[in-house]
């Protein structure tokens, strides 16, 4: 392997990586193409050479992230023996991913609160795949008499919503913890303890007594 001065794939990957970081941190509008170029140490025009435009780059970034999480969730799902196992895997895999890729929940929340202004179609179907998986787990559980009174859409948002808020507010909560003594903002609970708590609570909530 010769050390190359030019490596298109690596450059492209670098641009995507930095875009992901910046879009997640600052959102679509507040991220400038100039900024992406500077951070990535490439000329701005190169971004237009590789990607159609800013929205096109954004779409690729989102696609990459959403595919990654879907793959992980599916992977974790494969080795499960029961709907309860599957529910646990779903929650913990999602939480773990969101925690390790902490920009992702912010991106997702922002995009949802924009009504998918920037990437309507793709976003949409990616999120649907994830929801469909959980939906099937819950309905299977209900058929088997393990769960009862399930509204999958609400349970899905309960999981996604809770995890996303916990991850996105983590820095804010850390700051709050230093300021006040009275309120416990859970600022040093590790994510795997929290996700275990969420799973156990949702299990209680759904299980037939």
Partner DNA sequence: TAATTAACTAACTAGTTAGTTAATTATATA
Partner DNA sequence: TATATAATTAACTAACTAGTTAGTTAATTA
143 binds its own copies (CB under 8 A): no
- Answer whether 66's CB lies under 8 Å from 123's CB: yes
173 binds its own copies (CB under 8 A): yes
Considering only the stretches 51-59, 77-85, 90-98, 193-201, report the one whose residues sit in contact with its own copies under the rule CB under 8 A: 193-201
27 binds its own copies (CB under 8 A): yes
Measured CA to CA, the distance from residue 120 to residue 62 in angstroms comes to 11
| Alpha-helix residue ranges (DSSP H) falling in 31-184 | 33-40, 44-50, 54-78, 83-100, 103-113, 120-143, 152-168, 170-179
- Enumerate binding residues for DNA (CB under 7 A): 4-8, 11, 31-34, 41-46, 48-49, 53-55
The CB-of-31 to its own copies minimum distance in angstroms stands at 10
Q: Which residue has the tokens 């499960």?
A: 80
- Answer whether 121's CB lies under 8 Å from 146's CB: no
> Can you name the residues that pair with 147 across neighbouring β-strands?
207
Residues of the shown chain interacting with its own copies in the complex, contacts defined by CB under 8 A: 26-27, 29-30, 105-107, 109-110, 112-117, 124, 128, 131-132, 135, 151-154, 157-158, 160-162, 164-166, 168-169, 171-173, 176, 182-186, 189, 194, 197-198, 201-202, 204-206, 209
């Amino acid at each position: 392997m010769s050390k190359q001065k030019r490596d298109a794939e690596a450059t492209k990957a670098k641009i995507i990586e930095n875009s992901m970081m910046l879009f997640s941190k600052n959102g679509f509008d507040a991220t400038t193409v100039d900024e992406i170029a500077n951070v990535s140490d490439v000329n701005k025009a190169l971004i237009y050479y590789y990607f159609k435009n800013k929205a096109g780059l954004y779409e690729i970034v989102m696609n990459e992230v959403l595919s990654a999480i879907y793959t992980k969730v599916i992977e974790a799902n494969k080795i499960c023996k029961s709907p309860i196992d599957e529910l646990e895997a779903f929650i913990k895999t999602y939480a773990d991913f969101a925690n390790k890729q902490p920009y992702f929940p912010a991106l997702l929340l922002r995009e949802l609160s924009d009504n998918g202004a920037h990437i309507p179609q793709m976003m949409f179907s990616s999120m649907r795949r994830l929801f469909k998986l959980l939906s099937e787990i819950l309905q299977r559980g209900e058929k088997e008499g393990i769960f009862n009174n399930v509204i999958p859409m609400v349970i899905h948002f309960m999981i996604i919503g809770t995890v996303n808020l916990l991850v996105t507010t983590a820095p804010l909560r850390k700051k709050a913890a230093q300021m006040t003594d009275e309120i416990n903002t859970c600022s040093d609970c590790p994510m795997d303890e929290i996700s275990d708590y969420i799973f156990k609570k949702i299990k209680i909530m759904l299980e037939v007594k």
